[in-house]
Amino acid sequence: MRFSPSIKTAVSLGFHTFPKLIFGELASYVCFLCFSQPYNTSSAHLGLSYWGTVLSRKSFGVIKPEIRVLGVDDGVFTPRIEAWVPVVGVVFRGGYWLDGVMHTKIAVDGFDATGKMSSMITNSPHYKQLRVIMLNGITFAGFNVVDIKVLNAETRLPVIAVTREKPNLTEIREALKHLPKSEERWNAVLNAGELAEVATRHKKEKIYVHVAGISEEDARKVVRLTSTRSNVPEALRVAHLIASGISSKQAELEKV
């Protein structure tokens, strides 16, 4: 796309020069930024650039019963020790059919969960078929915090973090003070935004979700659709079973 000298000058100098531009040219440039990226063409996306990070938002029309979702959970571990914890991702079509499994590992109380999960997902052969990422909360392997907005931007997939109970932010804040990069971890917690309440199989069986790249209304629909055998999405339930089984077996082998 070709731009006039005024556009090229403004881009080279920075965003503070944009108000001086002619509106028509500015609109053309913004459209170029938003739609020149190689987004998944099977869904509608809106790309917003913020300091080099492209935030991806997917809008759903009709949510299909066989929507492919990824449930991610970690295994069991011993707290406050230097160790690796398995993280398992399970691909489900809706809440009934298991399509695939992926895995990685993260450090106990580390700060690598976001990057490791992003690499696991984007390098998987299932990546192009996925429509939603579901996490079992935003903290893994202790206080290895996932920044769901960064995960959404890097994978260009909506993220729904599910928790059965409301987290105590005061206790989390105090615990993070004893770990390296405490401010970065806390910012990742705050970046998850407000919790939304969702009733799944029964009105009394309520869970809570953080969302990134998807509306709360669509997130509720996806969670309800995929919670077929319990009050949490089936992909998360199965991911928990597999991750727990792997980590338990590893612990047994280490004792031998």
pTM: 0.77
CATH 3.30.2170.10, domain 68-255, yes or no: yes
Q: Which amino acid is at 225?
A: L
Residue 110 has pLDDT above 60, yes or no: yes
Query: pLDDT tens for residues 46-72?
Result: 444 434 455 667 778 789 999 999 999
β 132-136/139-140 pair status? unpaired
Give the model's pLDDT for residue 203.
77
Q: What is the pLDDT of residue 40?
A: 37
pLDDT in tens, 143-166: 999 999 999 999 999 999 999 999
- Burial string for 89-104 (b: 16+ CB within 10 Å, else e) reads bbbbbbbeeebeebbb
Structure token pair of residue 142: 């202790």
Question: Worst-scoring range by mean pLDDT, 6-15, 89-98, 184-193, 217-226?
Answer: 6-15
Q: What are the start and end residues of each CATH 3.30.2170.10 domain in the chain?
A: 68-255
